[in-house]
Amino acid sequence: MSEAGTYVESSTAGETVRAFVPAPLPPKPALALTGADQDLMEQANRALGRLDGVTMLLPDSSVFLYGYVRKEAVLSSQIEGTQSSLADLVLHESKLAPGVPLDDVREVSNYLAAMNHGLRRIRKDGFPLSSRLIKEMHGVLMAKGRGGDKAPGHFRRSQNWIGGTRPGNAVYVPPPWERVADCMSNLEMFLHDQPRRTPVLIKAALAHVQFETIHPFLDGNGRLGRLLVTLILCAEGALQEPLLYLSLYFKQHRQTYYDLLQSARLKGDWLTWLRFFLEGVRDTAQQAADTARAILAQFESDRARIEGLGRRAGSAGRVHQLMQKRPIVSIPLVARMLKVSAPTARSAIDAMEKLKIVREITGKQRDRLYAYDQYMKILDEGARPLDRRGPRSS
C-alpha cells in the first residue's frame, strides 16, 4: 500500500504478478504548490490564451486546424511505433497514392476520426466527458487496421502489462480487469469536479497519468490518453479550438515522459510530473502560435506573388486556396474539385511551380503529384518518423 495506490495479486499468462490499483484522484495529501509552481501555471494559461487569440486572426481557422491536427495525429501514432508521415496521411486521405504504408496511415486516420468524434459529441450533442464517451472514441480509434481484434469500444477483460517480454518482468502492471470499471468511474467523478473543483490544467495533467495508469483497454491507451488532454481543455473552455497537443513535446522528451509517469503512478510524485506537464503546455502553446503566424505569413506572401501572374492569377489563386486545405494534389484532382478543365488546372500548377510555391514530388512523367512545399515544411517540423524506444504505451 502507498499513498498513490494499492498492489493486488493478479494472474495472467501462467504467472502471478503484483498489479497496481491507483487511488482515486485528487491526490492525498493535496498538492503543495509553491510560488514558482503558481507562476508556471500562470505562464501556461497565458500561452493558451495567446494561442486562442492568434487563431482568431486567421481568415479561416479551419485551414490551420486541418494541417495542425493532422500533424498531431501523425506524432501521436509515431510514439506508438508507426512510421507514417504527414505526407502519407495527406496522400491517403486524397486517395492519391495507394502505395503508402496502409496499416500505419490507417492508425493515424483513425486517431483523427476519434478526436473529431469526441469533440462533436461534447460540442454538438452536449455529451459529458465520461467513460461512455471514452469508450466510443476507442471504438473509432480501433475501428480499422491494427487493433481491430482488441475489443474496440470495450474495457479490457484480461490483464495487460507495459514493457518487458512477459508479465513477470514488466515495467508496470495495471489494475486487474475486474477493477477497471471502478477505476474509470472514479476518474469520471474527478473530471466532473467531485469531490472538489480542480483547476483545468492540473485536472488535465493528473487525468492523463490516471488514465495511463489504469490502462483500461487492450490497445490504444497511449493515443487516447493524449487525446484526453485536449478534450479536457476544450470541454472546460480553456481552448475554443482543439489546437494544443503535447505529442511533439512527449516525443522530444520520451524517456523523461515515461519516467515521470512511472514516478507519479507508483510513488505519488505528482508535483514533478505537473511541472513537466505545465512546461510542455507553455512551450507547445507558444510553438503552435508561432506555427499559426508562420502559416499565415506564408499564405499571404504566396498570394501576393500569385497576383502578379497576370491572366493566370485567377485560376492559380483558386488552386492556392485549395492547396491550403489539400497540400498535395494531382492535376485531375484540381480539375475535379475546382470544376475546371485539365489544361486550365495544369497551366495554374505550372505557373505556381515556376514561382516555387508548389513542387512536383514523384519525379515521374505520369500520375504526377504536387506539394505546397513551404506549407508542408512548416507543418512537418518535428513530425519525422522516429525509431521506437522505451516501453510502448499502446
Cell numbers describing residue 97: 497514392
Q: What local confidence, expressed as pLDDT, does residue 376 receive?
A: 83
CA distance linking residue 390 with residue 392, whole number of Å: 6
- Tell me which residue of 264, 37, 211, 236 sits closest to 129, measured CA to CA: 236
Whether residues 216 and 86 share a domain: the answer is: yes
Q: Residue 98: count other Cβ atoms within 10 Å of its Cβ.
A: 8
Contact in structure between 156 and 147 (CB atoms under 8 Å): no
Supply the DSSP string of 378-389, one letter for each residue.
HHHTT-S-----
Q: What local confidence, expressed as pLDDT, does residue 53 receive?
A: 82
Whether residues 118 and 218 share a domain: the answer is: yes
CA distance linking residue 349 with residue 346, whole number of Å: 5
Q: What local confidence, expressed as pLDDT, does residue 82 receive?
A: 56
Whether residues 190 and 315 share a domain: the answer is: no
- Going by the DSSP 8-state scheme, the letter that residue 361 receives in this structure is -
Whether residues 323 and 258 share a domain: the answer is: no
CATH number at residue 344: 1.10.10.10
Q: Quick check: is 387 in a domain?
A: no
Cα–Cα separations (whole angstroms), residue 69 to 38, 63, 245, 342:
29, 10, 8, 31
Contact in structure between 370 and 357 (CB atoms under 8 Å): no
Cα–Cα separations (whole angstroms), residue 74 to 70, 82, 144:
6, 8, 16
Range of the domain at 309: 298-379
Cα 353–Cα 356–Cα 359 angle in degrees, nearest 5: 60
Whether residues 319 and 277 share a domain: the answer is: no
Q: How far apart are the first and last CA of the chain?
A: 27
- Going by the DSSP 8-state scheme, the letter that residue 392 receives in this structure is -
Sheet with 358-360, strands from edge to edge, namely 328-329, 370-372, 358-360
- Going by the DSSP 8-state scheme, the letter that residue 170 receives in this structure is -
Domain termination residue (choose one: 238, 273, 291) = 291
Domain count, the chain: 2
Whether residues 273 and 328 share a domain: the answer is: no
Q: Quick check: is 116 in a domain?
A: yes
Q: Quick check: is 273 in a domain?
A: yes
Domain termination residue (choose one: 240, 257, 291) = 291
Whether residues 365 and 251 share a domain: the answer is: no
Whether residues 40 and 141 share a domain: the answer is: yes
Q: What local confidence, expressed as pLDDT, does residue 390 receive?
A: 36
Q: Quick check: is 124 in a domain?
A: yes
Supply the DSSP string of 145-159, one letter for each residue.
STTTTS-TTS--SS-
Q: Residue 162: count other Cβ atoms within 10 Å of its Cβ.
A: 21
CA distance linking residue 335 with residue 347, whole number of Å: 11
Q: Residue 84: count other Cβ atoms within 10 Å of its Cβ.
A: 24
CA distance linking residue 384 with residue 376, whole number of Å: 12
CA distance linking residue 353 with residue 343, whole number of Å: 15
Q: What local confidence, expressed as pLDDT, does residue 252 receive?
A: 86
Q: Quick check: is 384 in a domain?
A: no
CA distance linking residue 251 with residue 249, whole number of Å: 5
Q: Quick check: is 388 in a domain?
A: no
Whether residues 158 and 267 share a domain: the answer is: yes
Cell numbers describing residue 10: 493478479
Contact in structure between 223 and 245 (CB atoms under 8 Å): no
Q: Quick check: is 386 in a domain?
A: no
Q: Which H or E element spans position 9?
A: strand 5-12
Contact in structure between 240 and 64 (CB atoms under 8 Å): no
- pLDDT tens per residue, the chain (394 residues)? 457 899 999 888 788 899 999 999 999 889 999 999 999 999 999 999 988 887 777 666 666 666 666 666 666 666 665 556 666 666 666 555 555 455 556 766 787 789 889 999 998 899 999 999 999 999 999 987 655 567 899 999 999 999 888 888 999 999 999 999 999 999 999 999 999 999 999 999 999 999 999 999 999 998 899 889 989 998 998 888 887 878 888 888 989 999 999 999 889 999 999 999 999 999 989 988 888 888 889 999 999 999 999 888 999 999 999 998 888 889 999 999 999 999 999 999 999 999 999 999 888 888 888 989 898 888 776 544 433 333 334 4
Whether residues 271 and 327 share a domain: the answer is: no
Domain termination residue (choose one: 291, 320, 343) = 291
Whether residues 286 and 302 share a domain: the answer is: no
Q: What local confidence, expressed as pLDDT, does residue 326 receive?
A: 84
Q: What local confidence, expressed as pLDDT, does residue 319 receive?
A: 96
Write down the residue that cell numbers 505550372 correspond to. 350
- Tell me which residue of 300, 346, 293, 292 sits closest to 321, measured CA to CA: 300
Q: Quick check: is 34 in a domain?
A: yes
Whether residues 92 and 124 share a domain: the answer is: yes
